[in-house]
Amino acid sequence: MGQFAVIGLGRFGSATSLELMRQGHSVLGIDADDKAVDRHADQLTRAAIADVTDQNALAELGLDGYDAVLVAIGEELQASLVCVVHLKAMGARNIWVKATSRAHHLILGKLGVARIIHPEEEMGIRIAQTLSYPMVEDYIPLGNGEFVVQIEASEQLEGRTLGGTLGSGETTIRTLAVKRRTETTVHPPEEFVLRAKDTLILFGQLHDLKMAAPKLS
């Protein structure tokens, strides 16, 4: 179980906090607005009202001991940047920050945070991918054009083999696993026989995954 701190309990920060809690982690939620803190106090491990531009207030929270700190402050650019500077000075190890503009992103890059997040942009890309390839239930970009995707086998794949469906040795696509109800077969062979509604976890180049998409839908 990890320990995470989320600074800013607006829509993005509160949604992230609650999902971390659902996954079994410990979450400290922080906001300068007492109403926002009161709204989520019973849902989080701990909640605190604090002015995050005050270095002493941040120091009292002991954020340098957390696995990661997410700065999810909304439109207040100055508050976000001052908070990050204080966190860096305190020795916080893993700082993730929500950026609201290109200028915000540029400055955060200079400050050397672990990751800069653009929630609306990243969600827009994900939605576009889902609209383009509705058979893909989820995906993870790995860089260099490589993706891990999760696809549910359609009715037309019933009884077909993996090799016959994806092409034996013809692409860079690799099947990492096939999930069937409560059973998971890791690195299944090409002779593996598919059933409708099997969940395929595939790895490969985006180009090859796009070419294979019509075979799976």
**Domain CATH for 173:** 3.30.70.1450
Question: Facing residues of 202 across strands?
Answer: 149, 175
Closest residue by Cα to residue 189 from 208, 164, 163 = 163
Q: Are residues 132 and 212 in the same domain?
A: yes
Measured between alpha carbons, how far is residue 186 from residues 74, 96, 173, 201 in Å?
42, 33, 15, 9
Burial 182-206 (b: 16+ CB within 10 A, else e): eeeeeebeeebebeeebbbbbbbee
Position 89: which residue type?
A: A
Q: Are residues 137 and 161 in the same domain?
A: yes
Q: Are residues 17 and 114 in the same domain?
A: yes
Q: Are residues 164 and 195 in the same domain?
A: yes
Structure tokens at 14: 């509160």
Q: 146: exposed, middle or buried (C-beta count within 10 Å: 0-12, 13-18, 19+)?
A: middle
pLDDT tens by residue, 109-158? 999 999 998 887 666 666 555 555 555 667 777 777 788 888 888 888 88
Q: Are residues 42 and 100 in the same domain?
A: yes
Range of the domain at 191: 127-216
Structure tokens at 59: 């120091």
Residue 69 and residue 75: Cα distance in Å, rounded?
18
The DSSP secondary-structure symbol of 131 reads: H
Position 217: which residue type?
A: S
Q: Are residues 157 and 197 in the same domain?
A: yes
User: Which of 84, 119, 154 finishes a domain?
Assistant: 119
Q: Are residues 70 and 145 in the same domain?
A: no
Q: Are residues 98 and 178 in the same domain?
A: no
Residue 106 is part of a domain; what is its CATH number?
3.40.50.720
The answer to whether residues 152 and 217 touch, using CB atoms and an 8 Å cutoff, is: no
Look at the alpha carbons of 153, 154, 158, 160 in this order and tell me if their dihedral is positive or negative. negative
Task: Please state whether the predicted TM-score (pTM) of the whole model is above 0.85.
Answer: no
User: Which of 94, 119, 144 finishes a domain?
Assistant: 119
Instruction: Give the count of domains, the chain.
Output: 2
Q: Are residues 77 and 25 in the same domain?
A: yes
Q: Are residues 187 and 165 in the same domain?
A: yes
- State percent of the chain over pLDDT 70: 89
Q: Are residues 171 and 199 in the same domain?
A: yes
pLDDT tens by residue, 157-206? 889 888 888 876 556 788 899 999 889 999 999 889 999 888 888 888 87
The DSSP secondary-structure symbol of 191 reads: T
